[in-house]
């Protein structure tokens, strides 16, 4: 289910390719649109072009701000809205 994104394109590549930069609000929209629990892989599927590292950073920022909660499952965290 694609989400309407905050798109901030960057054109610093040699071919002037556009990249989408996803912020915390884009990740938060994933939770609001589905109400489900998310891991890094889920965020990567819902936000095309986001890297694993960026998805991890955005989820951690949302957790630190108190926007989402998390629990450890195996070696990874699962994030969810309370």
Model confidence, pTM: 0.70
In the chain the domains, ranked by start, together with CATH numbers, are 9-80 (1.10.10.10)
Name all contacts of 45-54 with Cβ < 8 Å and 24+ positions apart.
46/1, 46/2, 46/3, 47/3, 47/5, 47/22, 48/2, 48/20, 49/19, 49/20, 49/22, 50/20, 50/22, 54/22
Residue 81 confidence (pLDDT): 87
pLDDT for 15: 43
pLDDT at residue 70 in the model: 95
10-65 tens-digit pLDDT: 444 444 345 567 888 888 887 777 778 889 999 999 888 889 999 999 999 999 99
């Amino acid at each position: 289910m694609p989400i309407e994104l905050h798109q901030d394109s960057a054109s610093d590549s040699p071919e002037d390719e556009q990249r989408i930069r996803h912020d915390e609000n884009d990740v938060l929209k994933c939770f609001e649109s589905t109400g489900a629990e998310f891991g890094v892989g889920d965020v990567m599927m819902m936000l095309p072009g986001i890297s694993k590292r960026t998805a991890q950073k955005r989820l951690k920022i949302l957790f630190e701000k108190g926007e989402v909660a998390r629990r450890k499952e195996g070696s990874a965290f699962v994030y969810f809205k309370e």
